[in-house]
Amino acid sequence: MALVEAIGVRKSFGHTEVLKGIDLEVERGEVVCLLGPSGAGKSTFLRCVNHLETIDAGRIWVDGVPVGFRSANGKLHELREREAAHQRRDVGMVFQRFNLFPHRTALENIMEGPVQVLGRGRAEVRAEALALLERVGLAEKAGAHPAQLSGGQQQRVAIARALAMKPKLMLFDEPTSALDPELVGEVLDVMTSLARDGMTMIVVTHEIGFARSVADRVVFLVDGAVVETGTPADVLDNPQQPRTQQFLAKVL
Amino acid sequence: MASDTRTHDVRDELVVVPLSHPWRWISGAVIVLVIAGLGWAMSEARIQWEDVPGFFTHPVMLEGLLNTIVLAVAAQGGAIVLGVVVALMRLSANPVARWFAVGYIWLFRGLPVLLQILIWFNLALVFEDISIPMLFSVPTNVVMTAFVAALLGLGLNESAYMAEIVRAGLSSVDEGQTEAAKSIGMTPMTTLRRVVLPQAMRVIIPPTGNNFINMIKGTSMASVIAFTELIHAANNISSRNLEIMETLFAAAAWYLVMVSVASIGQHYLERAYGPR
């Protein structure tokens, strides 16, 4: 079974239907990039996978578990927020606006999940957190508060914070869209090395170059529906749908 | 040689007259005169200044001081706890809880504190016993001492203000912070305790310090129900020796001491939660 399976996912905000029946499978170790014009529902879909949004119809499974539900006696029971929190432990998320905790240092941001959520000992968590900072190239910034870091550094700390929970799946919601152009590369480098290490990733991005070189599969969304899907070579270099051709002509 | 003048420093040739500020001198002199006049008037007044230090440390005054501090701290502490609860109700998804919070704030913020203290103190006139059927029952006039009535009157009024302050603080924290906390699997309680409240404190502390200073002075209203706080203590002393102003000045000095200490405490609290 695929790590992520989404079938017929629908979501409306008020009278606007943002997702109109999305089907998507992501295999273990696969990197999937969601592309498409803004307002296509890419971010909303990603947030549904982590149950930050509740879906109106359809189903999403992560590692065989229905997101936002507990199955018992042949029925799906909606989860309480506390139970939903338990499900989210296995899924890491990186936000466009970083959302680091400003009142804690880089190291404390990374330690927060394992210590407060998993209840693990500070000493061993600290060692792991320092190793994660090393991995994202910020070992010397352990004691810095987010306000003292550049956008690119903050986003790398945010990636480390998500990794500290040892997630099965990482979700990236336009991780470089809020960055100055010269800082984009350092974040993409970290994501690339993460993909090389076999992490399963769903990435909402406008970085076509990143999608081309790192993604195993590209999914092109327009108006809440999947228009085209395939390898980067297929979708990016040889798009079949007019809407995809139109979009790529503009961004490439 | 006209071109030579340009190489000279212009200040060598032209005298600079600094701007004068005559009104600064005049207004400054007026202020000093007014203060000196007030000081002279005070020294001429029929006040036994030498008696004030004695009243300042009079045992009755010290008892009043202790009672004032206990009442102010207890009322403010209770108000903070209640305020957080009411603020959470005000922000909750449960419409009944939201309406209750709105009504609570409307009622306890809307009535004068003095009136609330008097109502609590006279509760025995309308309720003989305070009871929850089958659980407990106590006579109202045993429970509703002057201290309890003042505590309820001051604390409940303050809790309505605290609810609004806490709500403003919680709302000031970016929604992205809650989402980030959720994304690492935090429960709502942990998110509140570890992420939202610490950041809300920056917004909550300054008005709370302000309110606590008000609370210190507000305890004086408990004197109308004969609770021995500072003003009632001053009255108790002066009823024997008729040195009304001297005892009131001694009480005034204590208020200024307490408010000064509270201000310093607020400064350090703000610094502890301030921006980094």
pLDDT in tens, B9-40: 655 678 888 899 999 999 999 999 999 999 99
Q: What is the domain count for chain A?
A: 1
User: Could you list the residue range(s) of the whole structural domain that residue A226 is in?
Assistant: 4-249
Query: pLDDT-based confidence at B1, cuts 50/70/90?
Result: very low
Collapsing DSSP to helix, strand or coil, A202 comes out as strand
Contact A145, A102 (CB under 8 A): yes
Specify the pairing of strand B136-139 against strand B129-132.
antiparallel
Chain B positions touching A161 (Cβ under 8 A) are 180, 184
A85 and B185 within 8 Å at the Cβ level: the answer is yes
Report the candidate in B116, B58, B108, B57 with the shortest Cα–Cα distance to residue B83. B108
Q: Using CA atoms, how far apart are residues A227 and A27, in angstroms rounded to an integer?
A: 20
Pure H helices in A16-144: 42-49, 81-88, 106-112, 122-135
Q: What is the mean pLDDT of residues A21-39?
A: 94
Collapsing DSSP to helix, strand or coil, A117 comes out as helix
Predicted local distance difference test score (pLDDT) of residue B276: 53
Helix orientation angle between B244-273 and B197-218, rounded to the nearest 10 degrees: 180
Q: What mean pLDDT, rounded, does chain B reach?
A: 91
Predicted local distance difference test score (pLDDT) of residue B75: 97
Express as a percent the part of chain B with pLDDT over 90. Answer: 76
Backbone angles phi, psi at A206, to 5 degrees: -110, 5
Instruction: Dump pLDDT digits (tens) for B189-235.
Output: 999 999 999 999 999 999 999 999 999 999 999 999 999 999 999 99
B184 and A86 within 8 Å at the Cβ level: the answer is no
Q: What is the mean pLDDT of residues B248-262?
A: 95
Predicted local distance difference test score (pLDDT) of residue A15: 92
Q: What is the mean pLDDT of residues A11-16?
A: 94
Whether the ipTM is more than 0.90: the answer is yes
Q: What mean pLDDT, rounded, does chain A reach?
A: 94
B186 and A116 within 8 Å at the Cβ level: the answer is yes
Predicted local distance difference test score (pLDDT) of residue B188: 93
Query: Considering CB atoms only, which of A52, A117, A165 is closest to B179?
Result: A52
Whether chain A has a CB inside 8 Å of the CB on B28: the answer is no
In terms of CATH, what superfamily is B58-273?
MetI-like (1.10.3720.10)
Whichever domain contains A47, its CATH number is 3.40.50.300
Tell me the shortest Cα–Cα distance from B230 to chain A, in angstroms. Answer: 41
- Is B272 exposed, middle or buried, given 0-12, 13-18 or 19+ CB atoms closer than 10 A? exposed
B182 and A52 within 8 Å at the Cβ level: the answer is yes
- Of the two residues B99 and B1, the one the predictor is more confident about is B99
Predicted local distance difference test score (pLDDT) of residue B272: 85
Predicted local distance difference test score (pLDDT) of residue B126: 86
- Which residue type is seen at A236? L
Confidence check: pLDDT of A72 > 90:
no
CA distance to B17, B78, B82, B154, B201, per residue, from B206 (Å): 46, 18, 18, 20, 9
Confidence check: pLDDT of A87 > 50:
yes
Domain-wise residue ranges, chain B: 58-273
Tell me the shortest Cα–Cα distance from B185 to chain A, in angstroms. Answer: 4
